[in-house]
Amino acid sequence: MIKIKRRKENVDMKKIYHLTSCSTNVRILKELNLEGVELQNIKEENIDEKTLDFLKEKVGSYEALFSKKAMKYRSMGLNEMVLTEQDYKKYILEEYTFIKRPFMINEDQVFIGNAKSVVAEAVASFGASNA
């Protein structure tokens, strides 16, 4: 599980970055109360640098946001390289497939990935779906 660092100022944002072609992401979205939540399909519009930096501040590193399960990770030979924080940032900004998903922002809370514990925490934060 990824630990969340708290910021002093409040962040007034409810947004979920997801992949509509991923059945796991679709299932997770169905579990959440999405009222007032902005959804962004990262395949159509990848994360911007400002948001990525915000997430990095919350979780502590770009590596924590980077998906080493992505097919391109091995096909590009990245698994055989020693990547720096700037490398992780660069690859995430260049290719949506390198960011763990879904990642959900509910004001000052950030939830990244699809682990059962993360999803349970997100449901507790966003509320359960009415469906």
Q: Residue 54 sits in a domain of what CATH number?
A: 3.40.30.10
Q: Per the domain annotation, does 76 fall within a domain? A: yes
Q: Per the domain annotation, does 74 fall within a domain? A: yes
Q: Which domain holds residue 120?
A: 14-126
Q: What is the pLDDT of residues 11-20, one digit of tens each?
A: 568 999 999 9
Q: What is the pLDDT of residues 90-127, one digit of tens each?
A: 999 999 999 999 999 999 899 999 999 999 999 999 99
Q: What is the pLDDT of residues 27-49, one digit of tens each?
A: 999 999 999 999 999 999 999 99
What's the domain count of the chain? 1
Question: 73 with 79: CB under 8 angstroms?
Answer: yes
Question: 98 with 92: CB under 8 angstroms?
Answer: yes
Q: Per the domain annotation, does 7 fall within a domain? A: no
Q: Per the domain annotation, does 3 fall within a domain? A: no
> Token pair for residue 61?
């590193």
Q: Per the domain annotation, does 6 fall within a domain? A: no
Q: Per the domain annotation, does 2 fall within a domain? A: no
Q: Per the domain annotation, does 131 fall within a domain? A: no
Q: What is the pLDDT of residues 61-88, one digit of tens each?
A: 999 999 999 999 999 999 999 999 999 9
Q: How far apart are CA 111 and CA 17, in angstroms?
A: 10
Question: 86 with 72: CB under 8 angstroms?
Answer: no
Whether residue 8 has pLDDT greater than 90: no
Q: How far apart are CA 88 and CA 115, in angstroms?
A: 21
